[in-house]
Amino acid sequence: MHKPEWIQHKIYSREQLARECNIWRGTGKKIVFTNGCFDILHHGHLDLLARAADQGNILVLGLNTDASVRGLKGPERPITNEQDRAFQTASLLCVDAVCLFDEATPEELIKIVKPDVLVKGGDYTIDKIVGADFVQENGGRVEIIPFVEGYSTTSIINKIRGL
* pLDDT (mean) for 151-160: 74
Residues 71/57, Cβ–Cβ less than 8 Å:
no
**Residue 113 predicted with pLDDT over 70:** yes
**Residue 1 predicted with pLDDT over 70:** no
Residue 158's pLDDT is 74
The DSSP result for 123-144, as a single string, is T--GGGSTTHHHHHHTT-EEEE
* pLDDT (mean) for 32-40: 95
* pLDDT (mean) for 98-124: 96
**Residue 3 predicted with pLDDT over 80:** no
In order of start, what are the domains of the chain with their CATH numbers?
A: 5-161 (3.40.50.620)
Higher model confidence: residue 142 or residue 154? 142
pLDDT band at 90 (very low <50, low <70, confident <90, very high): very high
